[in-house]
Amino acid sequence: MADGKHIATARKLRTTMTDAERRLWSRLRDRRLGGFKFRRQVPIAGFVADFACLDANLIVEVDGGQHVDEAESDLQRTRKLDELGFRVVRFWNDDVLIRTDDVLEAIRLALSGESASL
């Protein structure tokens, strides 16, 4: 269950989305990707996931340059979410902005249980 701190953080993040997050959200919202319902900035297990399709137990993370320095913490976060039954796929901001269709195809594959890397 999400605590008040994570709910407040998620609300703030929804209003300060990056350009890449906004672009991806415009393609995921309203069941636009294969009829799957995605939520944005979702508190899960003490973290705030960028996007989540809870029906498919899929989390989509959009990473900026700061994640180069946070690789170990991202790995630990992914392991924890994996333990809870979630599949986590990550994309760099640049990939979302420049190769949006490729990112969406990778997400489609992840939703069907296939490999989802770029």
What pLDDT sits at residue 116? Answer: 60
Over residues 1-13, the pLDDT tens digits come to 456 666 666 565 5
- What is the CB neighbour count within 10 angstroms for residue 5? 11
Q: Under CATH, domain 4-111 is a member of which superfamily?
A: VSR Endonuclease (3.40.960.10)
Over residues 32-87, the pLDDT tens digits come to 999 999 999 999 988 889 999 999 999 999 998 664 566 788 889 899 999 999 99
What pLDDT sits at residue 111? Answer: 96
User: What does the domain layout of the chain look like in residue ranges?
Assistant: 4-111
Give SS3 for 65.
helix
What pLDDT sits at residue 11? Answer: 60
